Structure 1
Amino acid sequence: MTIPTTVRYGELIPCKTAFIDAHTPGSDQKENFTIIGGGVSESADQHVHINEPHGFNIGAAGQPPRCRNSLHSHRTAEVFFVLSGRWRFFWGRWGDAGEVLLEQGDIINIPTGIFRGFENVGTDYGMIMAILGGDDAGGGVIWAPQVIEDARDHGLVLGENGKLYDTKKGQTLPEGVKPMPVLTDDELGAFEELTPMQVVGWGVRRYNDMAALAKDRACKVIGETGIIRDKPGFEVDLLTRSSAREEMHQHDRPSVLMPVRGHWRVNWPGGSEVIAPGDTMSVPADLPHNALPSMTGEAALYHVVATDDPAGPSMR
């Protein structure tokens, strides 16, 4: 019998050269983590903890105060929840169309087709967990033109093959590989400038509100019937102490458990394991299991499972 695989917070392997802005001042202190699936890293240095396809990717970003992730877009869904710290998410061609502040446990489902970035505005190192739609996460990152230009000024060039080359280390583009082209004005016109109400009203939910809804059963956060109505190729539920059940259940595909508050004991026939905030557990398909708080106090975890919906544009 296959048993769950857990990636512990303390065993996460960071990559500090994952993206094109790795040398750009203000963004050069980021740590990127690829937990499940290949993610969208542009660096050969990126470590992947679990390669098994789940229908989505799980990653994380760790950043010190005032460190930001530059403006970019994806072709599939990008969902974040705050594990620790205080974070500012911003969007638009120049990052000034709107912004929202998120705290521990809060979640944001960012619409596809817009440029977005995020910054740790707390006072200590913070981490956000990410869910990206599809096994190939949409084929990579689409950068705002100024990000590519700024990176070039600091020694990093992105090839059209999606790989980074560091001119400070003497690296050059291989023969036959051209630089990633900057989006044209016509192409930029396809990226929407959504208002704060459109992004926040549709795609942001606060932890305390979700926890209040998860008293009798898990709160369906993202899904066709979720409090965020979307079909991005996966569903997200929030489970709390009061909605946890001893009865075991199973899924016909792998699922993922990510605690955000408290310690949880995951049980399956013949075994069990305790997971804590920052840990990521992959539960195999068809394995009966449950998850129960293992200590007193507040307890909540996010549960993610793929659906048969295409991992395409988010609904709005």
Structure 2
Amino acid sequence: MTPQEMRARTVRYGELQPCRTAFIDAHTPGSDRKENFTIIGGGVSESPDQHVHIAIPHGFNIGAAGQPPHCRNSLHSHHTAEVFFVLKGRWKFFWGRRGTAGHVILKEGDIFNIPTGIFRGFENVGTDYGMIMAILGGDDAGGGVEWAPQVIEDAKDHGLVLGENGKLYDTKKGQALPEGVKPMPVMDEAQLATYPEPHASEVIPRHVARYLDLAAMADGAPVKVIGENGRLPDRPGFEVDLITRASATEDRHSHDRPSVLMPVFGHWRVDWDGGSDILAPGDTMSVPEGLAHAAVPSMTGEAALYRVIGTDDPAGPTWKG
């Protein structure tokens, strides 16, 4: 594969195109400064303004959320896996009907396989603009987002209405629901009662992995974070490995499906049959199936990247409480 062809499968951090109207809470105070990025696959954005960088199916989606300090993403749920790792900053992840069932604070490199079927949200609790990278199960990402009732009600007060077709309409811009399209129904109490409210002691040990712990284990070989025999034992339709300087090798290898390389620390040189390129933290590279390649640190200092590969496992659910 030529360098030009690989560049079409590489998204640089500095070239990410944000969408500021991706979801129903885009105008709600406290959530109105966030940026949503769709890197691989269609994601779950509710806005036609969302730019998709790489549309090639991988069996999963890759996205990102960028937020200034004290900006939060409102409570929602997914049918398929949602896995985050922190690229920049400090983040609070919280869950439950009101976001009060439990929470965890994550730092750069930490990874969280948030259980499906549970309302969750997140907030940048650092002092600078932060970024989290997201992996969503399935090519269609489970058909969208389910919002906690208060999120839908609050959005109406600020001009955004979500149709039952999963699309947003901004009344402040003169938009209205098309004829025959009803508003997205708000969940009733019986439906809400089916959403678990697990304590942090139930969630954190099984669904959170700290970067420093993973890096200590990735000595001599990559550490399996998510997947069969992984540190986080779910098999949500993809597997995630952490590769560090101590576990990187120049021996080339290939996979029978596309793989995605996402550096979190350091610069990485990726060599393949046909070329070579350098990846920095926040860059995303999709390596085609069958292409022999190797990734190694290109500079001294700390170096780590996450690798994502699809599997034949179902894309959800991931909560077994």
TM-score, normalised by the number of residues in structure 1:
0.99
Q: Counterpart of 2:176?
A: 172
Match of 1:138 among 139, 142, 157: 142
Aligned counterparts of 1:186 and 1:101: Cα–Cα separation in 2: 31
| 2:233 corresponds to 1:224 | no
CA shift, 1:206, in A, is: 0.5
| 2:82 corresponds to 1:78 | yes
C-alpha offsets along residues 96-134 of structure 1, whole Å, 9 cap, x if unaligned?
000100000000000001000000000000000000000
Aligned counterparts of 2:261 and 2:319: Cα–Cα separation in 1: 24
Superposition RMSD on alpha carbons, in Å?
0.8
SS of aligned partner of 1:228: coil
Matched letter for residue 183 of structure 1: M
Matched letter for residue 165 of structure 2: N
Q: Counterpart of 2:49?
A: 45
Q: Counterpart of 2:304?
A: 300
Q: Counterpart of 2:193?
A: 189
Aligned counterparts of 1:18 and 1:251: Cα–Cα separation in 2: 33
Check conservation: 2:117, 2:319, Cα contact below 8 A: no
Matched letter for residue 163 of structure 2: G
Matched letter for residue 112 of structure 1: T
| 2:209 corresponds to 1:205 | yes
Check conservation: 2:94, 2:104, Cα contact below 8 A: yes
Q: Counterpart of 1:311?
A: 315
Q: Counterpart of 1:108?
A: 112
Q: Counterpart of 1:16?
A: 20
For 1:221-300, list aligned pairs within 5 A. Answer: 221-300=225-304
Aligned counterparts of 1:165 and 1:255: Cα–Cα separation in 2: 36
Match of 2:98 among 94, 98, 101: 94
SS of aligned partner of 2:32: coil
Moved more, 116-125 or 196-205: 196-205
Matched letter for residue 144 of structure 1: A
CA shift, 1:244, in A, is: 0.4
Aligned counterparts of 2:167 and 2:126: Cα–Cα separation in 1: 32
Matched letter for residue 103 of structure 2: E
SS of aligned partner of 2:242: strand
* Structure 2: stretches of 5+ with no match in the other structure: none
TM-score, normalised by the number of residues in structure 2:
0.97
SS of aligned partner of 1:243: coil
CA shift, 1:89, in A, is: 0.3
Check conservation: 1:231, 1:315, Cα contact below 8 A: no
| 2:163 corresponds to 1:159 | yes
C-alpha offsets along residues 222-274 of structure 1, whole Å, 9 cap, x if unaligned?
01210000110000000000100111110111000000000000000120100
CA shift, 1:315, in A, is: 5.0
For 1:63-74, list aligned pairs within 5 A. Answer: 63-74=67-78
C-alpha offsets along residues 264-303 of structure 1, whole Å, 9 cap, x if unaligned?
0000012010001000000001000010000011100000
Aligned counterparts of 1:48 and 1:264: Cα–Cα separation in 2: 24
C-alpha offsets along residues 117-167 of structure 1, whole Å, 9 cap, x if unaligned?
000000000000000000000000000000000001110000000000000
Aligned counterparts of 2:24 and 2:228: Cα–Cα separation in 1: 35
Aligned counterparts of 2:191 and 2:85: Cα–Cα separation in 1: 30
Aligned counterparts of 1:73 and 1:198: Cα–Cα separation in 2: 18
Aligned counterparts of 1:270 and 1:312: Cα–Cα separation in 2: 37
Aligned counterparts of 1:65 and 1:312: Cα–Cα separation in 2: 31
- The list of structure 1 runs, each at least 4 consecutive aligned residues, that deviate by more than 6 angstroms after superposition, is none
C-alpha offsets along residues 179-218 of structure 1, whole Å, 9 cap, x if unaligned?
0000111111110001101111110010000000000100
Matched letter for residue 61 of structure 2: N
C-alpha offsets along residues 29-69 of structure 1, whole Å, 9 cap, x if unaligned?
00000000000000000000000000000000000000000
Aligned counterparts of 1:125 and 1:257: Cα–Cα separation in 2: 23
Check conservation: 1:229, 1:315, Cα contact below 8 A: no
Aligned counterparts of 1:188 and 1:53: Cα–Cα separation in 2: 33
